[in-house]
Amino acid sequence: MNLKIAAIRSGTDPLGKLPEAAFHRWLETPLGCPKCDVTYNLVVDWDRAADRWFAESSRPLITLLRKAIFMGHSTDHRVTHFETEGVVVKSFTAADRREVSPKKSS
């Protein structure tokens, strides 16, 4: 089972599914944008966060999320939910979640 970490912007709800787990743990130290005051809270599976080697196994993933948050500054932090479990960081925006309604003809 791979470690999956989600970063959710403070004050917003998760747009994607949270990591598969019976219980989630919100990590104490949020990630912040170095250029402004936006912070992202980290969510991880409780069992994986309580693992003895969590500090070492989560370090590369947290580095990827930190870089994605920094790059999101250029788009005014439009992305409110990041998720990674390897080399790729998925991003979720509010536009991804909205459904397009068909136009009614009069």
Let me know: does 68 contact 75? Beta carbons within 8 Å.
Answer: no
CB-based burial label for 99 (10 Å; 0-12, 13-18, 19+): exposed
Our count of domains for the chain comes to: 1
Mean pLDDT score across all residues of the chain: 82
Residue 102 lies in a domain: no
pLDDT category of residue 99 using cuts at 50, 70 and 90:
very low
List, for residues 47-78, the tens digit of each pLDDT value.
Answer: 888 889 988 989 999 999 999 999 888 888 88
Number of H helices and number of E strands within the chain?
3, 6
**Domain encompassing residue 87:** 5-95
Residue 106 pLDDT exceeds 80: no
CA 46, 50, 51, 56 torsion-angle sign? positive
Ordered alpha helix ranges (H), 73-106:
94-97
Question: Is residue 105 over pLDDT 70?
Answer: no
| Domain-embedded: residue 100 | no
What pLDDT score does 96 carry?
Answer: 57
Q: How many other C-beta atoms can be found within 10 angstroms of the C-beta atom of residue 52?
A: 7
55 part of a folded domain: yes
Residue 106, in any domain of the structure: no
CB atoms under 10 Å from CB of 44, counted, come to: 24
